[in-house]
């Protein structure tokens, strides 16, 4: 189980501090939500913030691109120090091409599907991806409730991975806490994003510990 705190719920005026807190608590990834105000209605930050954070952290930077036309961001994010770049299947008709570009740029390639998108939409790119993100809420906002029905897709992806000897990690994002993490892990996910559950607490480190213990029981 890898934990990926989402800085969407961190204090944007103290990002380096909040990242240090979760890094010291022993998480594996830092989940960075990029929203362009088009693919989703909210707007967050771009490659310049990833670049500014890079010298402050050794964590794997897991960039979730909630943007139209993700291809145009690949070079900038690679240069900024992103390690994983996740593109939504719904955001581009050129999925194979953008995933290839991400790999050529030296990053790990991830494909992302919204709750309303079936696994069949991404079946052709599964052999080439390093990670698949199954959204467990509709993207755009932190603090929403986990959609249990998405677990059937996590199961499908776990089965397909096993049957075909594929290598991707399975990530879930949205509404994860010490209860829902159990369902996600049982279905076959191994990368857990959590935003409000971790950063909404006075002691994010305690939440990380609780989340890990909940996952291990």
Q: Is 171 in the site for Zn ion (CB under 5 A)?
A: no
Q: Confirm whether 33 is a catalytic residue.
A: yes
Count of CA atoms in the C-beta half-sphere (13 A) of 143: 7
Select from Zn ion, ligand DX5, none the partner in contact with residue 197, using the beta carbon and a kind-dependent cut-off of 5 to 8 Å: ligand DX5
Q: Which of residues 78-97 bind ligand DX5 (CB under 6 A)?
A: none
Q: Is 88 in the site for Zn ion (CB under 5 A)?
A: no
Site string for ligand DX5, 128-167 (x = CB under 6 A): ---------x-xxxxxx-----------------------
Q: Is 215 in the site for ligand DX5 (CB under 6 A)?
A: no
Q: Is 64 in the site for ligand DX5 (CB under 6 A)?
A: yes
The DSSP code for 43 is B
Select from ligand DX5, Zn ion, none the partner in contact with residue 215, using the beta carbon and a kind-dependent cut-off of 5 to 8 Å: none
Of 53, 193, 208, 211, the one binding ligand DX5 (CB under 6 A) is 193
> Is 26 known to sit in a ligand binding site?
no
> Is 142 known to sit in a ligand binding site?
yes
CB-based contact 178:209 (threshold 8 Å): no
Residue identified by tokens 């954070």 is 53
> Is 64 known to sit in a ligand binding site?
yes
Long-range pairs for 175-182 at CB < 8 Å and ≥24 separation? 175/136, 175/137, 175/144, 175/145, 175/146, 175/147, 176/136, 176/146, 176/211, 177/146, 177/211, 178/210, 178/211, 178/213, 178/214, 179/214, 180/136, 180/146, 181/211, 181/214, 181/215, 182/214, 182/215, 182/217
Q: Is 70 in the site for ligand DX5 (CB under 6 A)?
A: no
Residue of 62, 130, 169, 173 with catalytic role: 173
Q: Is 207 in the site for ligand DX5 (CB under 6 A)?
A: no
Instruction: Tell me the helices (H) and strands (E) count for the chain, helix number first.
Output: 8, 8
> Is 173 known to sit in a ligand binding site?
yes
Tell me the closest approach of the beta carbon of residue 104 to ligand DX5, in angstroms. Answer: 25
Residue 145 or 159 with smaller CB distance to Zn ion: 145
- Binding annotation for substrate: 6, 64, 140-143, 173-175, 195-196
- What residue ranges bind ligand DX5 (CB under 6 A)? 6, 8-9, 31, 33, 64, 137, 139-144, 173-176, 193-197
């Amino acid at each position: 189980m890898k934990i990926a705190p989402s800085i969407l719920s961190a204090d944007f005026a103290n990002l380096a501090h909040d990242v240090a807190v979760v890094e010291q608590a022993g998480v594996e990834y830092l989940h960075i939500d990029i929203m362009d105000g088009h693919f989703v209605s909210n707007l967050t930050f771009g490659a310049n913030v990833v670049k500014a954070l890079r010298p402050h952290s050794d964590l794997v930077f897991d960039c979730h691109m909630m943007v139209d036309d993700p291809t145009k961001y690949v070079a900038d994010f690679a240069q900024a120090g992103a390690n994983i770049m996740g593109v939504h299947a719904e955001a581009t008709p050129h999925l194979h091409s953008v995933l290839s570009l991400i790999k050529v740029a030296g990053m790990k390639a991830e494909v992302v599907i919204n709750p309303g998108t079936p696994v069949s939409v991404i079946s052709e790119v599964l052999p080439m991806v390093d990670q698949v993100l199954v959204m467990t809420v509709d993207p755009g906002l932190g603090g929403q409730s986990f959609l249990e029905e998405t677990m059937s897709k996590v199961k499908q992806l776990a089965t397909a991975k096993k049957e075909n000897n594929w290598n991707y990690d399975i990530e879930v994002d949205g509404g994860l806490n010490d209860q829902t993490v159990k369902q996600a892990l049982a279905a076959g996910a191994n990368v857990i994003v959590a935003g409000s559950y971790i950063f909404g607490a006075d002691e994010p480190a305690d939440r990380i510990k609780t989340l890990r213990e909940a996952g291990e029981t």
